[in-house]
């Protein structure tokens, strides 16, 4: 949920002339970022599989560093792009 300050800032930026709404709205929390758990549910695989695929480059993942562990985030559009690929491209083999 966005804070009241973030909502006010967004509205103020959208009122400025020449502002592209898509470029501004993509920066705020209503973007389609998914955690590994959410991405796993979306793809119907385990979160560990999603993270492994990200490490192997099969799906585009974004690493966020933390103090004790690395957190991953995934864009739903990247997951959709992976689903649209032929299965041979995912495994590296042509069937």
Strand (E) or helix (H) holding 5: helix 4-15
Structural domain boundaries of the chain? 1-31, 32-95
Nearest to 85 by CA among 67, 58, 66: 58
**How deeply is 84 buried, as exposed, middle or buried, from its count of CB atoms within 10 A (0-12, 13-18, 19+)?**
exposed
Predicted model pTM: 0.58
Per-residue pLDDT of the chain (95 residues; tens, 9 = 90+): 456 666 677 667 667 776 665 555 554 456 678 999 989 999 999 999 999 999 999 999 999 877 778 889 999 989 988 888 776 655 555 54
Report the CATH fold assignment for 32-95: Multidrug-efflux Transporter Regulator; Chain: A; Domain 2 (1.10.1660)
Q: List 62's β-bridge partners, or say none.
A: 73
Q: Could you give the 3-state DSSP secondary structure of residue 27?
A: coil
């Amino acid at each position: 949920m966005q804070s009241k300050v973030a909502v006010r800032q967004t509205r103020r930026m959208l009122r400025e002339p020449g502002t592209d709404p898509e470029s501004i709205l993509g920066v705020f929390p209503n973007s389609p970022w998914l955690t590994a758990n959410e991405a796993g549910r979306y793809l119907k695989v385990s979160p560990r599989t999603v993270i492994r695929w990200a490490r192997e480059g099969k799906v585009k993942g974004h690493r966020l560093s933390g103090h004790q562990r690395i957190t991953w985030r995934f864009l739903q559009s990247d997951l959709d792009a992976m689903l649209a690929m032929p299965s041979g491209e995912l495994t590296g083999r042509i069937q």
